[in-house]
């Protein structure tokens, strides 16, 4: 492989201007991450601690192996919604290494609305289960959940992909040989009770953990029985009498230690894909990525400059470099894992679409995962493009991407518009993992184009008559405001259109983790249901 050259001058005014612009974006991102993961609910945190309970991310820190990374999904879920009173959608999910085994961790945050499920909470929970299914990972549930948030019941309870679907998936994962193990830390009522009840093994923490399909207030109303929560569904009762719980822990630290012991004996095999030698860092420092991305979307930049700062040794074997130049394709390694990278250098033409389709097929043949780096206005339009077969050729690219059997990863580094988002493996095509940079935008088209389209439509309806400029100004402002709000990366990540916003200098490590997971996934067909007795 050839080492990529860089045309970037870190001493130039443009580089400095780009960095200043991106530093401002990263400051916003960092502040919002801090608020979502730790801030704004001191009284609730104090009450949580007073009950002898550990905060949700501290539980995860104690659970995962020391010195290993926890890849958290969508920490900014629900950002900007519900008056920002639902940080991280009240649930923490991600991949962590527990007793040497990669696991999906799904952990309720009882300091956020009592760990209740909102629409985004359900969506985030299901997304973690999807990853578990695709990558054949056991799921560890750290349960501290009051069930569905009742005022949101129409967005949480009845539909196919609502709360009930989490239980359907949990049963299917267990039957497919992927262990489902729960620790119950607090009160789990109604739907919250089914998370541990449907698990293969359950640990309950004495004193705080409770499981009941109907709490004391419901029991009083339903059958006029007066009973306290501990008697009705406490940890000791469920461990010694009902058999719902398999293990009783004196405290949370003991419960987490017991879970680590259980995971250590799961006998979960994964493919050995560890590189033989240490992976070289890129020749060009990843800190320069913020100076590569233009502060003005009208100023182009070469996606090779990004590739040179995330791949091992900045080495890249490019495919068809002199043809279809608006799509850059080639092979590289990231943390020792082979990957085929496709990045945008402009709109996709017929030539670049065909080039991309052929490259994807080559990676599929060689069992090499695909990485899509989005910065795409879309497929080319116009008479020349249509006569050149852009419709059929772009469809070939989309078809090849959709049917590829190898893992697919996406990172949205800039704009990702219209059918270009589709061709580059946007969320609708279910990439194994999809992350965004703070500079990302996802929309059908840019605000400039959308406003001009709507203005032209209004003028065409006027049948040759003049349209008042005031009306045109209102239309333009309305469209720009809508697209400005809805193409914002925080609007997207709040609704889980991605797996999280990451800083550019984190990209290499995040992708290395993801590639290690997807490449070590065993191809095993198992059917091993566990029936609760």
Tell me which of 2-16, 53-67, 93-107, 220-234 is least confident: 220-234
> What pLDDT is recorded for position 274?
86
Q: Is residue 271 part of a domain?
A: no
347 and 240 share one domain: no
Q: Is residue 374 part of a domain?
A: yes
Q: Is residue 530 part of a domain?
A: no
3-class DSSP string for 206-266: CCCCEEECCCHHHHHHHHCCCCCHHHHHEHHHHHHHHCCCCEEECCHHHHHHHHHHHHHCC
- What angle, rounded to 10 degrees, do the helices at 119-135 and 163-175 form? 20
User: Is the model's pLDDT at 531 over the cut of 60?
Assistant: no
Range picked from 121-130, 190-199, 390-399, 465-474 for highest mean pLDDT? 121-130
> What pLDDT is recorded for position 527?
60
206 and 153 share one domain: yes
Strands 187-189 and 370-376, by their bridges, are unpaired
More confident residue, 164 or 465: 164
More confident residue, 525 or 58: 58
User: 3-state class of 230 per DSSP?
Assistant: helix
453 and 514 share one domain: no
Mean pLDDT calculated for residue range 425-449: 94
User: Is the model's pLDDT at 23 over the cut of 80?
Assistant: yes
> What pLDDT is recorded for position 252?
97
Q: What percent of the chain has pLDDT over 70?
A: 98
Mean pLDDT calculated for residue range 513-517: 97
Q: Within 13 A of 15's CA, how many CA atoms are on the CB side? A: 11
Give the chain's mean pLDDT: 93
More confident residue, 162 or 44: 162
Mean pLDDT calculated for residue range 47-75: 94
**pTM for this entry:** 0.94
- Residue 529: band (very low, low, confident or very high) from pLDDT cuts 50, 70, 90: low
Helices and strands of the chain, counted as H and E runs: 21, 17
Q: How far apart are CA 210 and CA 145, in angstroms?
A: 10
User: Is the model's pLDDT at 491 over the cut of 60?
Assistant: yes
3-class DSSP string for 148-206: ECHHHHHHHCCCCCCHHHHHHHHHHHHHCCCCEEEEECCEEECHHHHHHHCCCEEEEEC
User: Is the model's pLDDT at 51 over the cut of 90?
Assistant: no
> What pLDDT is recorded for position 20?
97
359 and 220 share one domain: no
CATH code: domain of residue 320: 3.90.226.10
Burial class for 456, CB neighbours closer than 10 Å (0-12, 13-18, 19+): exposed
> What pLDDT is recorded for position 385?
87
User: Is the model's pLDDT at 533 over the cut of 60?
Assistant: no
Q: Is residue 525 part of a domain?
A: no
User: Is the model's pLDDT at 336 over the cut of 70?
Assistant: yes
1 and 67 share one domain: no
Q: Is residue 419 part of a domain?
A: yes
406 and 476 share one domain: no
CB within 8 Å of 389: residues ≥ 6 apart = 350
> What pLDDT is recorded for position 222?
83
Tell me which of 129-138, 149-158, 322-331 is least confident: 149-158
Q: What are phi and psi of 443, to 5 degrees?
A: -165, 170
> What pLDDT is recorded for position 530?
59
Q: Is residue 134 part of a domain?
A: yes
- In terms of residue numbers, what domain contains 437? 1-38+276-444+490-520
Q: Is residue 410 part of a domain?
A: yes
- Counting the structural domains of the chain, the total is 3
307 and 410 share one domain: yes
103 and 233 share one domain: yes
230 and 349 share one domain: no
- List, for residues 77-129, the tens digit of each pLDDT value: 999 999 999 999 999 999 999 999 999 999 999 999 999 999 999 999 999 99
343 and 217 share one domain: no
- List, for residues 348-370, the tens digit of each pLDDT value: 999 999 999 999 999 999 999 99
109 and 167 share one domain: yes
Q: Is residue 240 part of a domain?
A: yes
Compute the residue count for the chain. Answer: 533
184 and 100 share one domain: yes
More confident residue, 455 or 130: 130
């Amino acid at each position: 492989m050839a080492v990529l050259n860089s045309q970037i001058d870190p001493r130039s005014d443009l580089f400095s201007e780009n960095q200043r612009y991106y530093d401002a974006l990263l400051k916003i991102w960092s502040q919002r991450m801090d608020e979502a993961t730790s801030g704004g609910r001191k009284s609730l945190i104090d009450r949580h601690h007073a009950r002898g309970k550990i905060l949700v991310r501290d539980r995860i820190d104690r659970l995962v192996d020391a010195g290993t990374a926890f890849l958290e999904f969508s920490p900014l879920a629900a950002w900007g919604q519900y008056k920002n009173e639902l940080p991280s959608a009240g649930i923490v999910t991600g991949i962590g290494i527990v007793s040497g085994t990669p696991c999906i961790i799904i952990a309720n945050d009882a300091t956020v609305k009592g760990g209740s499920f909102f629409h985004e909470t359900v969506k985030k929970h299901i997304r973690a289960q999807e990853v578990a299914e695709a990558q054949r990972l056991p799921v560890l549930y750290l349960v501290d959940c009051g069930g569905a948030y009742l005022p949101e019941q129409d967005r949480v309870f009845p539909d196919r992909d609502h709360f009930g679907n989490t239980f359907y998936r949990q049963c299917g994962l267990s039957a497919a040989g992927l262990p489902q193990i729960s620790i119950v830390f607090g009160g789990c009522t109604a739907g919250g009770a089914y998370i541990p009840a449907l698990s293969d093994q359950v640990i309950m923490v004495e004193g705080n953990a409770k499981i009941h399909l109907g709490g004391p207030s419901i029991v009083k109303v339903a059958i006029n029985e007066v009973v306290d929560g501990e008697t009705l569904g406490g940890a000791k009762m469920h461990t010694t009498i009902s058999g719902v719980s398999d293990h009783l822990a004196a405290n949370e630290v003991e419960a987490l230690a017991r879970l680590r012991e259980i995971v250590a004996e799961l006998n979960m095999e994964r493919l050995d894909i560890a590189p033989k030698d240490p992976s070289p860092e890129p020749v060009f420092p990843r800190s320069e990525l913020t100076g590569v991305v233009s502060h003005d979307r009208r100023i182009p930049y070469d996606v090779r400059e990004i590739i040179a700062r995330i791949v091992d040794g900045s080495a890249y074997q490019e495919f068809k470099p002199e043809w279809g130049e608006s799509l850059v394709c080639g092979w590289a390694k990231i943390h020792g894992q082979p990957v085929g990278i496709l990045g945008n250098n402009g709109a996709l033409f017929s030539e670049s679409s065909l080039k991309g389709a052929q490259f994807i097929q080559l990676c599929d043949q060689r069992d090499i995962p695909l990485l899509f780096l989005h910065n795409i206005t879309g497929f080319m339009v116009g008479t020349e493009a249509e006569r050149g077969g852009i419709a059929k050729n772009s469809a070939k690219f989309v078809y090849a991407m959709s049917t590829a059997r190898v893992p697919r990863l996406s990172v949205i580094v800039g704009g990702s518009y219209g059918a270009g988002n589709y061709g580059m493996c946007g969320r609708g095509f279910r990439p194994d993992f999809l992350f965004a940079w703070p500079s990302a935008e996802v929309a059908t088209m840019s605000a400039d184009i959308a406003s001009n389209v709507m203005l032209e439509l209004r003028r065409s309806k006027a049948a040759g008559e003049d349209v008042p400029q005031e009306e045109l100004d209102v239309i333009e402002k309305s469209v720009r405001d809508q697209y400005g709000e809805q193409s914002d990366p925080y609007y997207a990540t709040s609704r889980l259109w991605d797996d999280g916003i990451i800083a550019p200098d984190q990209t290499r490590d995040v992708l290395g983790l993801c590639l290690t997971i997807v490449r070590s996934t065993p191809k095993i067909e198992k059917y091993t249901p566990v029936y609760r007795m």
